[in-house]
């Protein structure tokens, strides 16, 4: 069985294979500095990482980040990429039951 990272964007649940995820960061590390072809960037361990706002690309209404907002760092062949998501669902929440009726992805 493959381990998954479950996250939420605009009320929809999505999943990624755990093996693709390098780290999950809190939003406060996110910078609004533009990078060509992306929504912004973060600096992670001295390395500039493209950051993609999943809400914007999913056509979901933009809202102010909250305490739960996270950046999921993905391992890609050409380096790291960050996904800005509303929140990451913890393993404990999944065990207790989040009421997920559908997982997209």
For the stretch 13-48, pLDDT in tens is: 999 988 899 999 988 766 655 555 557 888 888 888
User: Is the CB of residue 54 less than 8 Å from the CB of residue 84?
Assistant: yes
Owning domain of residue 81? 4-96
Residue 101 has a pLDDT of 47
Assign 66 a pLDDT band (cuts: 50, 70, 90): confident
Is residue 8 one of the residues assigned to a domain?
Answer: yes
Complete DSSP assignment for 64-94: ---TT-EEEEEEETTEEEEEEESEEE-HHHH
Is residue 104 one of the residues assigned to a domain?
Answer: no
Is residue 55 one of the residues assigned to a domain?
Answer: yes
Is residue 105 one of the residues assigned to a domain?
Answer: no
Is residue 68 one of the residues assigned to a domain?
Answer: yes
Can you tell me the distance from the alpha carbon of 84 to that of 42, in angstroms, rounded to the nearest whole number? 11
User: How many domains is the chain built from?
Assistant: 1
Is residue 103 one of the residues assigned to a domain?
Answer: no
């Amino acid at each position: 069985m493959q381990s998954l990272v479950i996250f939420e964007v605009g009320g929809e649940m999505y999943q990624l294979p755990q093996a693709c995820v390098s780290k999950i960061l809190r939003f406060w590390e996110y910078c609004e500095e533009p990078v060509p072809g992306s929504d912004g960037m973060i600096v992670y361990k001295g390395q500039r990482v493209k950051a993609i706002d999943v809400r914007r690309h999913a056509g979901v209404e933009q809202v102010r980040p909250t305490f739960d907002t996270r950046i999921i760092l993905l391992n890609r062949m050409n380096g790291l990429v960050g996904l800005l998501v509303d929140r990451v669902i913890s393993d404990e929440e999944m065990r207790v039951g989040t009421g997920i009726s559908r997982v997209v992805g």
